[in-house]
Amino acid sequence: MTIEEDESGPKHLNSSELLKKIDKLREKNIGKHVPLPQLVVVGDQSSGKSSLLASLTKIPFPRDLELCTRYATQITSRREDDRSVEISIIPAGDASLEHRAKVQGFKRTLRGTENFRSEFPAILKEVDECMGIRTDLSSKEGSVFSKDVLRIELCGPEEDYLTVIDVPGIFRDPTPGITTESDIELVRDMVKNYIKDARTVILAVLPSNVDLATQEILKLAKDYDGNGERTLGVLTKPDLVIEQSAKAALCSLVLGHKRPLTLGYYLVRNQGADQDTSFSGEEGERMFDSQPWNTLPRDRIGIQALRERLGELLSEVTEREFPELRKDIKNQIDSCHQDLVRLGPARQTEQEQRAFLSGIARQFQSLARAARDAHYTENEAFAESDLRLLTHIVNFSDKFSSTFQAKAHLLPFDCPTSDAVDKKQPYNDMNNNPHGKGRHKNCPRGKPDMHAQMAAGDRFSLAQHVDESREGLDPNNFPELEQIVSRVEGTQDPEGDIKAWIEKLYAESRGLDLGTFGNNILCNAFKEQTGKWEAMTRGHLYHKIWSSILDDLLQRYKNAMSQAMFLLSVERNRRPYTLNNYFNHSLQKLRSARVAQALEDNARYTNDDWSNAEMKVVDLDAVKKSASDQGNVEHITGEIHDILWSYYQVARERFVDNVHMQAIEHCLLTGPESPLEVFSQEWVINLGSDELGAIAGESQAIKARRANLKQKMEDLKSALQTLKF
């Protein structure tokens, strides 16, 4: 047979061919992934379900009044030339691997239906044992109900094509020693699971001799089929209805006058539990020839009419739902594929794990290089400013330099800021000492120039921005770095009288000198004045490290910190010395400024040109007097201060630059031992198998999830192939 296809699926397939395909899907347990068109027989316990099923299929199901169906049963009958019966078990969706293998291994194939009917009770006992069902109700061994499905396929020349699923009957009260409250809920959930989907036709079995209002199955069916569009009522046990009014009520139901259902009601009489197997269904249904049953439509009464209608219904539902079923399967395959993509490549073998981790290392190195070199347009990840590494480092370094200039010295320097000082001089600590603390009483404080004011404003804005960026960098989040770094919070502004401090140092170390001082006093003064450098340097480097508990990373950070401490030691523990011309330049400028400041009160404007306010003259006598008025200690203290200040400017800038270039730029960013180079493909290649598995291996939960998704995809793809041809 040739099959033409469009987006909806195959055309020109007759109902029996479509039903065969659906049965193949059901055999493969595809129903656990996508709902399949099906007829499900449901009802309360003792409603006549088992008898109805026996009448429909001619299979001698047990009709024990104490306990009926204990698991779902799928019965398929199909017209074939050869007679055969095949019995198998479909495992529950949540069955363990061991149980799944056990029940899937159960198969019974019989030739000839007569042998089957005689052997069926014994086969059911084998099924119970295989499922783990309790065979002796007085025993505590095994379970009372199972979520496995018994599958029975009947083939023969007299069989009509029909597939129905029978589920355990609902019951309200547990039977002492047999069923429990949890069994009640298990059966109720099983029924709900079968009737909830729109592709299921609900065959609600209702005993005629019981008030329908007491039948819980009608309430459940209404919960999932509010309009009654896919619920068909099957009225059983009409022979037990005696009163004429009750018979009339049943007729009203069948005629659709009461509690109407779109699919209507059917009236049947089944073999009772106390009747032998010789009971003839046709003989029992002769009662429908009498009043009032003979007034009902013949296509609404009797097993044969019901069987024909069920076959029609199943065909209608299958034809209607076939295109949507294919679409659902395709969507499920896409969903599985997306879930597998989200799980990433498989990481079960060593080769898979190494390839996976190597790929991540390659991506990391690419991002690290772009972040280090400020190539932010190369990857959309840099849309988030947190990953812009070089920008953060530059901002932090600027902040460090600004803070270091303002607060790294112990006491504020006492430098004149009169007009005699070069306004372009880049270092002026008075701008960092707005209150003039420690300024000599004879040094008038000048106004800082506009350039200095703008620089101070820029530093404030930058500091505010960087402080906001540092809020998340809490040292408590990196306990492994506790022994390496420290963080300085709220560094105090320099304060105190530096001249008095220098005078004290001089007094404690002076020798037999004539207006001079030894080099040791400069060494000691510089070392004390730079006492905050170490803490501030350690705090600065804290913000530059990509921290990890890996020993290699910590060692590389230790190396960077060691380099910074080496630079610090060179500056603080060696004799002050520099070849930088700026030292002499600054010292001479400062000395000139002091002389100009001392003569400021004796200066006067020239009489020749009053319009030129900058032209002042000083008497030579005043110059001689100012030079001779200073005492020896005051003069020496001033010299020490000025030399210390001039050298401090050079050493500070040299140190800040060296920390950035060597400890940060080289050790932490671009050098071969940078922490950014630790996580690399070479590192992955050198990992041992155990360590590799611990890092890149999948957890048991992920392995199970991946295996389930792969199995589901295989099942669904197989189902799609079944529906194509």
- Confidence check: pLDDT of 8 > 50: no
Report the 3 state secondary structure along 356-425.
Answer: HHHHHHHHHHHHHHHHHCCCHHHCHHHHCHHHCHHHHHHHHHHHHHHHHHHHCCCCCCCCCCCCCCCCCC
In the chain, where the domains are located: 12-337, 371-415+480-689
CATH architecture of the domain formed by 12-337: 3-Layer(aba) Sandwich (3.40)
382-413 b/e with 16+ CB inside 10 Å = b? beeeebbbeebbebbbbbbbbbbbbbbbbbbb
Average pLDDT over residues 375-381: 78
Choose the most confident range, by mean pLDDT, from 154-158, 209-213, 717-721. 717-721
Query: Lowest mean pLDDT: which of 58-62, 77-81, 717-721?
Result: 58-62
The predicted pLDDT at position 439 comes to 39
What tens digit of pLDDT does each residue of 262-304 get?
Answer: 899 999 987 655 454 444 456 678 888 888 999 999 999 999 9
Provide the 10 A C-beta neighbour count for residue 647.
Answer: 21
pLDDT band at 210 (very low <50, low <70, confident <90, very high): confident
Higher pLDDT, 523 or 656: 656
- Confidence check: pLDDT of 228 > 80: yes
What are the respective helix, strand and coil percentages of the chain, to the nearest 5? 55, 10, 35
Provide the 10 A C-beta neighbour count for residue 315.
Answer: 18
Dihedral sign (CA 45, 49, 50, 51): positive
603 conformational bin, left if phi > 0, alpha if psi -120 to 50, beta if neither: beta
pLDDT band at 361 (very low <50, low <70, confident <90, very high): confident
Question: Mean pLDDT score of the chain, rounded to an integer?
Answer: 76
Distance CA 548, CA 554 (A): 7
Secondary structure letter of residue 461 according to DSSP: H
Query: Lowest mean pLDDT: which of 89-93, 108-112, 276-280, 364-368?
Result: 276-280
- Helix ranges restricted to H, 58-179: 97-104, 113-131
Question: CA end-to-end span of the chain, whole Å?
Answer: 9
Higher pLDDT, 459 or 273: 273
- Confidence check: pLDDT of 452 > 60: no
Query: Lowest mean pLDDT: which of 195-204, 272-281, 379-388, 583-592?
Result: 272-281
What tens digit of pLDDT does each residue of 230-245 get?
Answer: 999 999 999 998 999 9
What tens digit of pLDDT does each residue of 666-706 get?
Answer: 877 777 877 777 777 887 888 888 888 887 888 888 888 99
Distance CA 347, CA 282 (A): 65
R_g of the chain computed on alpha carbons: 48
Query: Lowest mean pLDDT: which of 203-217, 484-498, 529-543?
Result: 529-543
pTM: 0.57
pLDDT band at 329 (very low <50, low <70, confident <90, very high): very high
The encoded tokens of residue 417 equal 């800021």
Instruction: Map tokens 């990840």 to a residue.
Output: 381
What tens digit of pLDDT does each residue of 639-661 get?
Answer: 888 888 888 888 888 888 888 88
The predicted pLDDT at position 437 comes to 39
- Confidence check: pLDDT of 468 > 50: no
The predicted pLDDT at position 334 comes to 95
Cα distances (angstroms) measured from residue 131 to each of 75, 91, 193:
18, 9, 20
The predicted pLDDT at position 518 comes to 63
Average pLDDT over residues 369-377: 81
pLDDT band at 92 (very low <50, low <70, confident <90, very high): confident
- Confidence check: pLDDT of 465 > 60: no
Average pLDDT over residues 525-540: 65
Residue pair 263/221 in contact by the 8 Å Cβ criterion: no
- Confidence check: pLDDT of 492 > 60: yes
What tens digit of pLDDT does each residue of 44-73 get?
Answer: 888 888 888 888 888 877 665 444 578 999
The predicted pLDDT at position 564 comes to 77
